[in-house]
Structure 1
């Protein structure tokens, strides 16, 4: 039986702790509809798989760690886009582009929270109402993010949204992971496997070009699984959904295996580097290459390139996406 508690402390403020029979614990916060901790027992000791901070204040300052990102994850090139012949302007918060929804993206918002129990799982549903025109996004949008945990160690995030006007919509969870339990350790010895034969090519400013590039023979080839080593990434992997799960990350000691299955068309993978090294995290200072962000979403740039699909949310077609994180230990 999965248990959910509403708690409060000086570090996290109000938050929710979801725990299953295996002593797997998931802590989530209404601030940014974010995950705070994902703790599993390994050889009698707790191991927190999420890279993050000790306090909610630090999370708000750093913004993106394990938060819900929206309305549009990734970069909107030129901070503008077109829907049905109408041009919209969004906030320039990233060198001429809009990053992760702008200055007041979903990660900055306080979401309404509702605890639920459903069959063999339980968790929290966060709800946010985004008013028409805010930050350049049309439509009164109602977003819901449903965090759940079950006794089979499946941590699931489910997204739904409705709108009264056509708008852009491409959310994700910006979770950073280190399966050793602390980002003081490099992720170099983690093994990564990704079911993606292509990546979306990027410009120097990390916007996409519209081209799809084969991964074979490049640093992006994780199809068969290999150690991350000194590979630094900030790239959209286009999932082929031919294998289950879509992505597997294994700890250096091989005692923890994270399997991710998603309905999203792509996963952006970002590895931390020198700019994050030395940051004070929950369990010490971040190492260079101390965390890997795994962000299931539509391919960034889809609003410009129809070959990538469609991220327009319309009144007659509500949004739905689901990602399941299964951990074996």
Structure 2
């Protein structure tokens, strides 16, 4: 029977521990509605595969494992049009709006409610975002739902309602190193992404509106291969006929994650020079020490209708869910 309990320590402050019957433990924080640790019970001992800082204080200016919103990714030039009206949002990175502005979902304290339902347990985090926050219209009510099952599934999802039309494209910004330590590079991790296309990006990582084939490029992970020295910060457009979106396997083949998602794309980011030396859970960050996996709509959809829509209206509540099947 999966269980959840609220805990407190000096390292993380108030947090929640979700545990399944096999001994997998998921630690969650209300700050940013984020994951802190995901510990797998291997024969040789516990292995934490989530990469994050070693204190909650250190997370206050970082996206590690947080809920991101109201719009993940970049809004080019911090401006968008909706229903004939132009909205100016906060330009918090290189003249663009990144991950919801200066005080996005990742920097907010969420309220929390736990649940235990037979073979699953978890936490429902709740946040209200007011009309005009960071320039976005609408009073939003958002739930970030984390679940751990006895079948070794780690799930995260979002529900939301609004009182007027707005943009909404959240994600979980999970960082992973399946060796259990970010001191080890991810070069030998095996990655498989069932995406035959990628959204083209500019130097500032905003999307151009073009969708390009991955065949013959560094983005071609359709068949599993080592990440190697590939640096990524790119939206992979998932093939619609694939049940499994992505598989990540540790170099020792003892751990793998298989992702299914309701979302049409995954932004994959690999850490680089900027993160080197950061003191994390499990050691200091190496170059290429973690890979972020962020299921979402394609960034820039507000500018390119051919990508779909990220408009949320009062008439239709939002729901999206992603699930990692844990193998160890």
**TM over 0.5, shorter chain:** yes
Question: Which residue does 1:177 correspond to in 2?
Answer: 176
Q: Matched residues in 1 for 2:279 and 2:19: separation?
A: 27
Q: Matched residues in 2 for 1:162 and 1:114: separation?
A: 18
Question: Which residue does 1:46 correspond to in 2?
Answer: 46
Question: Which residue does 1:322 correspond to in 2?
Answer: 321
Q: Detail structure 1 runs of 4+ shifted over 3 Å in the superposition.
A: none
Q: Matched residues in 1 for 2:134 and 2:286: separation?
A: 35
Supply the RMSD in Å over aligned alpha carbons: 0.7
Q: Matched residues in 2 for 1:2 and 1:222: separation?
A: 34
The CA deviation at 1:243 is 2.3
Q: Matched residues in 2 for 1:6 and 1:44: separation?
A: 28
Question: Which residue does 2:35 correspond to in 1?
Answer: 35
Q: Matched residues in 2 for 1:212 and 1:123: separation?
A: 37
Contact 1:195 1:241 in 2 (8 A): no
Question: Which residue does 2:59 correspond to in 1?
Answer: 59
The CA deviation at 1:279 is 1.1
Give 3-state SS (helix, strand or coil) of 1:307's partner: helix
Question: Which residue does 2:83 correspond to in 1?
Answer: 84
The CA deviation at 1:68 is 0.3
The CA deviation at 1:43 is 1.8
Q: Matched residues in 1 for 2:273 and 2:44: separation?
A: 33
Question: Which residue does 1:13 correspond to in 2?
Answer: 13
The CA deviation at 1:283 is 1.4
Contact 1:166 1:312 in 2 (8 A): yes
The CA deviation at 1:275 is 1.1
The CA deviation at 1:118 is 2.4
Out of 272-281 and 295-304, give the one that drifted further: 272-281
Q: Structure 2 matches for 1:279-298, cutoff 5 A?
A: 279-298=278-297
Give the structure-2-normalised TM-score. 0.99
> Structure 1 unaligned runs (5+)?
none
Question: Which residue does 2:131 correspond to in 1?
Answer: 132
Question: Which residue does 1:197 correspond to in 2?
Answer: 196
> Structure 2 unaligned runs (5+)?
none
Give the structure-1-normalised TM-score. 0.99
The CA deviation at 1:119 is 3.7
Count of paired positions: 328
Q: Matched residues in 1 for 2:179 and 2:86: separation?
A: 46
The CA deviation at 1:42 is 1.4
Contact 1:68 1:173 in 2 (8 A): yes
Question: Which residue does 1:238 correspond to in 2?
Answer: 237
Q: Matched residues in 1 for 2:71 and 2:82: separation?
A: 14
Q: Matched residues in 1 for 2:47 and 2:23: separation?
A: 11
Q: Matched residues in 2 for 1:160 and 1:209: separation?
A: 29
1:183-225 deviation per Cα after TM superposition (whole angstroms, max 9, x unaligned): 1000000000001000000001000000000000000000011
Give 3-state SS (helix, strand or coil) of 1:55's partner: coil
Q: Matched residues in 2 for 1:191 and 1:112: separation?
A: 37
Q: Matched residues in 1 for 2:274 and 2:319: separation?
A: 34
Question: Which residue does 2:122 correspond to in 1?
Answer: 123
Question: Which residue does 1:160 correspond to in 2?
Answer: 159
1:45-89 deviation per Cα after TM superposition (whole angstroms, max 9, x unaligned): 11000001111000113x200000000000000101010100000
Question: Which residue does 1:2 correspond to in 2?
Answer: 2
Give 3-state SS (helix, strand or coil) of 1:322's partner: strand
The CA deviation at 1:244 is 2.5
